[in-house]
Structure 1
Amino acid sequence: MIAAGVVTAVAIGVAGCAESDRDGGGKGGATGGTFIFAGAGDPKNFDPIFNDDGESFRPIRQMYDTLVTHRPGSADLVGGLAESWSNDPTGKVWTFKLRQGVTFHDGTALDAAAVCANFDRWYNMKGEAAQSQMIYYADVFGGFAGNPDAIYDNCKAPDAATAVVTMKKYKGAFPGAFALAAFSIASPAAMKQYDADKVTQSGDSFAYSAFATDHPTGTGPFTYGGWNKATGEITLNRNPGYWGDKAKVDKMIIKVIKDENTRKQELRAGAVHAIDFPAPADRKALAAEGYQVLERPAFNILYLGINQKNNPKLKDLRVRQAIAYALNRAQLVQTKGPGGSAVADEFLPGTVLGYAPDVQKYEYDVAKAKQLLAEAGATGLTLNFYYPTEVSRPYMPNPQEIFTVLANDLQAAGIKVNGVPRPWNGGFKDDVQQFGKQDLHILGWTGDYNDPGNFVGTFFGRPKPEFGDQSMTEMFTAIGAADATVDQQAKRAAFEQVNRDLAAKWLPAVPIWHAPPALVTTKNVEGLVPSPLTAETFNTVSITK
């Protein structure tokens, strides 16, 4: 729409909202009861801006709203806290018309000043807060105040119902990025009261404020009811003052069960109503037993990350290519992938603009891998391979099994592998994404919105400890130029070339597969709408008797 010179792009909010029974949980009234969802890992905290993983965002999405959101069950944008939005022809000025009568959970009003307070807070983050896990902000907005790459300029409130956000330059992430859970709008009063920006670091760990841990305050359909770490239960209560379709259950509990088999047992025992990311082998069995298996479309990527910082041999493209040739990805997909999985040849799904079908492909070839290692003088290479424990991800249903298969492939090609298992939060993610301790790691991504910058830009658009690729300035420049291209056909061509070069010239990681993740629920769960973005909200869920 920007490329065509259209000044206004309007999306009215979810159609059913105006017709719903605002006091009775939507059409049909509130059903009451408690919906129990089995989470696969601990959330880090409940302050949206400091998070970037699904286990943290699951409760966050229930407690907060974003300016723009997605139509349930799709990646299509619709209004959230903003009833409509528009952009100027340059794509740099975004105007949001806010819903009226919306209040935060602390009773304070949502208005344009509150929206601007959130944008200004993110931009002006300093010290240890800025150094913590603010990956989404750095990726989308380029950095904080004083950083020459920062694209945020200002936010103005010409009236209570209008927020105008101005960027220093066009970025293809918008408007999709306004729907990111990390950019949920929080209560300025609560953030001030509970010192939201106070973050302290001790060694490799960060400690967050009372706002993030005990007093998360948004506008969402559920309010925070506490996290009992002894039982692993996060309690969310129905928000009777919600502006949209009110939750149909009185309470939601996210019960953290880190072991996959235990989650399955708890489902069968009736102790939980839903589990996420079932093992591929379990889908058919659970469906045959009468459970509902709700599949999401595959909008994700699993990759083997290669960190070039610690081992100088990994800076040699031939060594990285040898790693790619050593992996029998087709067999991995067949034996460990969820039904419908496919080998990935690049880092974004085929439905995303910029996908290039003619990228260099790395078919399984052990002899080629050994040859390249010998040419590079890397025979006998030893690598530390980090993988997460106690968690399942949409793109990675069983990290231990995936690690084992990939490690065996590498060792068959003559690469010695030291496996380093680490817990997901407070271990693996910090070691890999903050400190770059690993040589290899498995990680992935579920797309947040349909734009190539959300995939390759997020991974490779700037220097990151995860890949140790600070010297790949050509890659950063090319991705930045593609993302800044306003004309959509030119943008398509630019990202197609980026994807060719990622495969043939840079190879900072090896794409593994695209996998459709699933949810499984008991028979008495109704109204759960699976999201291709794994971004479900549960106000639509009811429990039948």
Structure 2
Amino acid sequence: MRRFRLRTATAVAAAGILALSAAGCVQSDRTEEGSQPKKDTLVFGVAGDAKVLDPALASDGESFRVAREVFEGLLRAEPGGTKIVPALAESWAPDSTGLVWTFKLKSGVKFHDGSDFNGEAVCANFDRWYNWSGLMQGEDISTYWQDVFGGFAKNESAALPTSLFSKCAAPDAGTAVITISRVTSKFPAALILPAFSISSPKALKEFEANKIGGTADSVTYPPYATDHPTGTGPYKFVKWDRTNKVVELERFDGYHEAKAKIKNLKFKTIADLSARKQALRAGEIQGYDLVAPADIKPLTDEGFSVLPRPAFNIFYLALNQSGNPALKKPEVRQAIAYAINKQAIIDSKYPVGSSVATNFCPPTLAGCDAATEAHAYDPAKAKELLAAAGVTGLKLRFHYPTEVTRPYMPAPKDIFELISADLKAVGIEVTPVPLKWTPDYLNAVQVGTAHDLHLLGWTGDYSDAYNFIGTFFDRQKQEWGFNDPALFAEFKAADQEPDATKRADLYRALGVKLSQMVPGVPIAHGPPSLVLSKDITGLKPSPLTDERFDTAEYK
């Protein structure tokens, strides 16, 4: 849900090694002749490793990709869209206050360990999240709980707000009643998020799901989160081969809906984009994500199925005001915004259909179409602003991720270099800080304070502007390094406005404020693509990157 490339002889060699490694790891999925993959296995190439297999503790797309196959929540997004449809809940409705929500649950649903899904299981999960303590209350551990529900039963930090969640009751096996503390645009919309998937209470207890260890900077996850994720989804977990970077799943024959069409599903990490393409062409994988814009036409011409997703994301350059003192000056932040040639970045690194971003949310969402300060490319204006701020010889630490591509960020190192050149042209020098995506990079830019600039982004979770701008700016965060209680209060007021039209107007006003204060620079909205082999069909691309592989099949 949240985040560049000089080609050298070493890089080319590394790509070749990765491709050979990928080939060696999937031989068991091929026939004895070695010419065709078995028809009961689909190997899908991904750009990075999952961080954790307990979705409640995850905040990254690769962890959620696995979770979507193993787990289900009360609600989900319709295939290929953003509309909310039933999942484990058949229906849901609020009382007259909008605070008490009754969910009628599907019957006959089993967890992968054979235990029953029911109202008590729903409440056990909500009570687990609500009662987290210690390290579990860390922003990078319970990210989505805090983004949506805020605080906990007993907050251990004064910065945590009162929880949106109040209580859950199960009057019978087929019902869960959830009470919240205030009306909000987030509920129940956010329940489509994988982070709020329902786990087996039996497995949570057996595999010590809450027994997290280590420190905030070096977390040790419990057995449930690494080797025993247990949900109700169409696939069940088999193993996580960390050496060969493969997560293996198998069809759950006790699934309560149509069974998955392909028996075995594997997610194979191949960090190098060229190596993923080579593995597809060699038949070693049957698909991969984040197709390079330049590869779309060649792969299509070769007969592969390239599936573009609608653009429902934002890519941005974040400016950390708690780092270099110069970044506290609005003129300096504005200068950086004017210095960046967004269109050149899009023209060279993004697929057809991408657009320059002027807001921190896609213009297709209500309230994201505000006429904000666009900060068009203007190096002369940038120099004027730096001079007016009395800043010369500015040097900034610029973090960017390695070993990864993201739906909103197709080439991190290349984009870093383009932005660095733009900044140098107006007199700003950068010190590059490349870090592996997970856990180093995400920890450094979301929790640490040493970064001045960094690249990050977001793919929407549900169809409301608050999911973008509220997630970023409704409270103090290390990523941005500023504290503005008045602004945070405005975000809270917008979120709690029950009238959708009025709420959109409040979002527009907030968009204008953000464009004036420049906490970061929105750069692009891009439609990422995935690709499948010529004999795979049935997978529907999702703007939320919410693809479900149980519908995929061999022709």
Percent identical pairs in the alignment equals 48
Distance 1:64 1:251 in 2: 16
C-alpha distance in 2 between matches for 1:398 and 1:336: 7
Q: How far apart are the structure 2 equivalents of 1:536 and 1:365?
A: 40
Deviations 1:367-424 (A, max 9, x none): 1111111111221111111111111111011111111111111111111111111111
Do 1:233 and 1:255's aligned partners in 2 also have CA atoms closer than 8 Å? yes
Distance in structure 2 (CA, Å) of the matches to 1:523 and 1:234: 23
Partners of 1:218 and 1:436 in 2: CA distance: 37
Residue 295 of structure 1: how far off its partner (Å):
0.6
CA deviation after TM superposition for structure 1 residue 202, in Å: 3.9
1:66 to 66, 73, 79: 73
1:541 aligns with 2:552: yes
Q: Which residue of structure 2 lines up, in the alignment, with residue 407 of structure 1? A: 420
- In the alignment, which residue of structure 1 is the partner of 2:484? 472
Unaligned runs of 5+ in 2: 1-37, 156-160
**Alignment partners' CA distance in 2, 1:442 and 1:92:** 38
Structure 2 counterpart of 1:422: 435
Counterparts of 1:60 and 1:437 in 2: how far apart (Å)? 32
- Please name the residue that 2:396 is paired with: 383
Counterpart of 2:142 in structure 1 is 134
- Matching residue of 1:237: 250
User: Comparing 119-128 with 196-205, which one deviates more in the overlay?
Assistant: 196-205
Q: Distance in 1 between matches of 2:450 and 2:410?
A: 24
**Corresponding residue to 1:79 among 70, 80, 86:** 86
Deviation of the 1:32 alpha carbon: 5.5
Task: Provide the secondary structure at the position in 2 that maps to 1:281.
Answer: helix
Tell me how far apart the structure 2 counterparts of residues 436 and 34 of structure 1 sit (CA, whole Å): 44
In the alignment, the residues of structure 1 paired with residue 513 and residue 171 of structure 2 have an alpha-carbon distance, to the nearest angstrom, of 45
Q: Which residue of 2 aligns with 1:92?
A: 99
Name the SS for the 1:455 alignment partner.
Answer: helix
The corresponding residue for 1:502 is: 514
Q: TM-score, normalised by structure 1?
A: 0.92
Equivalent in the alignment of 1:433 = 446
SS at match of 2:456: strand
1:376 corresponds to which letter in structure 2?
A: A
Contact kept? 2:135, 2:141, Cα under 8 Å: no
Partner of 1:8: none
CA-CA distance at 1:337 after TM superposition: 1.2
2:163 counterpart of 1:155 = no
Q: Give the Cα separation in 1 of the matches to 2:258 and 2:415.
A: 40
Cα deviation digits, residues 174-207 of structure 1 (max 9, x gap): 2210100110000111011111011123472211
CA distance in 1, matches of 2:407, 2:377: 25
Of 162, 183, 204, 2:217 maps to 204
Task: For 1:192 and 1:203, locate their aligned partners in 2 and report how far apart those are by CA, in whole Å.
Answer: 23
Structure 2 equivalent of residue 13 of structure 1: none
Contact residue 356 and residue 500 of structure 1 kept, 8 A? no
1:85 is paired with a residue of what secondary structure?
strand
* Range with greater deviation from structure 2 (243-252 or 355-364): 355-364
Q: How many residues align?
A: 512
What displacement does 1:345 show? Answer: 0.2
What is the CA–CA distance in structure 2 between the aligned matches of 1:134 and 1:260, rounded to whole Å? 31
Label 1:388 to 1:410 Cα distance change in 2 as closer, same or farther (>3 A): same
Give, as a single letter, the amino acid of the residue that structure 1 aligns with 2:363: G
- Corresponding position of 2:40: 33
- Structure 2 residue corresponding to 1:345, chosen from 358, 361, 366: 358
How many angstroms does 1:169 deviate by? 0.5
Corresponding residue number in structure 2 for 1:524: 535
Contact 1:123 1:144 in 2 (8 A): yes
- Paired with 1:480 and 1:439, the residues of 2 have a C-alpha distance of 27
**Distance in 2 separating the partners of 1:380 and 1:198:** 49
The equivalent position to 1:178 in structure 2, one of 185, 191, 214, is 191
User: Which amino acid is the alignment partner of residue 487 of structure 1?
Assistant: D
- Counterpart CA distance in 2 for 1:464 and 1:513 is 22
Could you list the runs of 4 or more consecutive aligned residues of structure 1 that deviate by over 3 angstroms after TM superposition?
none
Q: Which residue of 2 aligns with 1:44?
A: 51
| Correspondence for 2:264 | 251
Unaligned runs of 5+ in 1: 1-30
